[in-house]
Chain A
């Protein structure tokens, strides 16, 4: 069975700092990769997704992620975080027919 590992449980940054959240998965076949975000008091929403093609994908609010197949990784990045990026971030792997596995999430706190 596939698994998803998010290495950082809690990240604390100051505004304008750069962000990189790690996501590694274990599955040998074709995968589709997602990052979801949950802002305080809100529901999970899609940040970005990768299906095929350019391994560098751009999402909303200046986020991007790079798929490195050889490393089974899909790390999330943002060059300069804002206080409003404070949220919980989930990496998810989808294999066939909607079968999904989510990581345990990373809580990001951005200090003003």
Chain B
């Protein structure tokens, strides 16, 4: 069964350092999402790509977060500098079309657990 791959699974970093997460969506999925999930809360959408274009990054803290999907396949989410409040699970998801629309659903990866110390 095809899966969304994410790495690393766990990351510990010191505050003010830079950190990056990688996501490889299911082959053929045009839409890619990055979510942040704080312990005890549901996933919060950070950025949505359609192929290589950003279609929604309204919740992305752009002063420190950046995301790219250069060739419309895999994607990288970067935080620089990391802050203590960034400690969370970062989830990547992909879908064939726009998730939530008829016939399309989001498939999630295992996530990257970030701890900022």
A residues with CB within 8 A of B: 4, 32, 34, 36, 42-46, 49, 51-52, 90, 92, 94-95, 97-105
| A98→B48 contact, CB < 8 A | yes
Q: Contacts A32-B100, A32-B101, A94-B99: A99 and B42 contacting too (C-beta < 8 A)? A: no
Per the bound structure, the CA–CA distance linking A4 and B60 in Å amounts to: 20
Report the stretch among B17-25, B70-78, B79-87, B106-114 that lies at the interface: B106-114
Q: Contacts A44-B91, A46-B105: A98 and B43 contacting too (C-beta < 8 A)? A: no
B23 to chain A minimum Cβ distance, whole angstroms, is 12
In the bound complex, residues from chain A placing their C-beta under 8 Å from that of B93 are 44
Interface range on chain B (Cβ under 8 Å from partner) = 20 to 34
A37 to chain B minimum Cβ distance, whole angstroms, is 11
Across the interface, A97 reaches (CB within 8 A) one of B41, B43, B56, namely B56
| A43→B110 contact, CB < 8 A | yes
